[in-house]
Amino acid sequence: MAKKYLLQRLRDAVVNGNLRKTRRIAEQITIQHPALAKEAMEKMMEAMETVDKKYELKQCSVADVIAAASAMREAFRILEPHIEIAKAKVKGKIIIGLLKGNMQGLGKDIVTAALRAAGFEVYDLGADVEPETFVEKAIEKEANVIAISITVNETVEYLKKLVEELENKGLRGKIKVVIGGKGVSEKTCREYGVEAYAANAWECIKKVEQLSKRA
């Protein structure tokens, strides 16, 4: 019961965007129950899903979402070293980053944490990433999926260069692409010929799992 209570407190702290409390509980988990680290990550993803739904229903503000995401990110930093994923069980290798011209990485950070907790090996390239760099890193790390965050509409055109780069290297369809962020939609996915669009971190996990199985 104590373990379940601790996980529930962690979830509530993230939902409330209480960074100090979230950090304190995460540290408590690593000291008292390090084996719970992965379960704790899953509980925090559940918390962020709750926050996302509250935001959609206009029950909380953008500031509340940012606070919750920041709390989750801080806890993940503490818990990640204790999340052991056997190499044989790694679901796939993912390259993730913000496409050229995009600098806001909060959503990307949440997706990165969620994918790692779900069992993927994730290489985060950060912000303002050139289309060619995504492909180069995917080849270097032998990744099977490239996840791209696009928050600025005007930068969507760089997707064309990325798709062309995959085509030129004979990797189109072999390395799958999933896009997400406020600057894109299902329509963008179809227009640029990429494999998938994800509206949020939880949907991204499902799409990446599907794409990894097909890779």
What pLDDT is stored for residue 82 in this prediction? 81
Whether 211 contacts 189, CB under 8 Å: no
Alpha helices in 98-178 (DSSP H): 106-117, 131-141, 158-168
Residue extent(s) of CATH 1.10.1240.10 domains in the chain: 2-82
Residue 145 is inside which H or E element, if any?
Answer: strand 145-149
Whether 119 contacts 89, CB under 8 Å: yes
Q: What is the pLDDT of residues 125-163, one digit of tens each?
A: 999 999 999 999 999 999 999 999 999 999 999 999 999
Residue 55 is inside which H or E element, if any?
Answer: helix 37-56
Task: Give me 35's structure tokens.
Answer: 């084996």
Whether 124 contacts 73, CB under 8 Å: no
Whether 128 contacts 101, CB under 8 Å: yes
Q: What is the pLDDT of residues 106-121, one digit of tens each?
A: 778 878 877 887 788 9
87-214 domain in CATH 3.40.50.280?
Answer: yes
What pLDDT is stored for residue 88 in this prediction? 43
Residue extent(s) of CATH 3.40.50.280 domains in the chain: 87-214
- CATH code of the region 2-82: 1.10.1240.10
Q: What is the pLDDT of residues 64-98, one digit of tens each?
A: 988 998 898 889 889 888 876 544 456 889 999 99
CA distances, 151 to each of 34, 66, 67, 80, 82 (Å): 36, 15, 19, 27, 32
- Worst-scoring range by mean pLDDT, 15-19, 30-34, 39-43, 156-160? 39-43
Whether 159 contacts 100, CB under 8 Å: no
Averaged pLDDT of the chain: 89
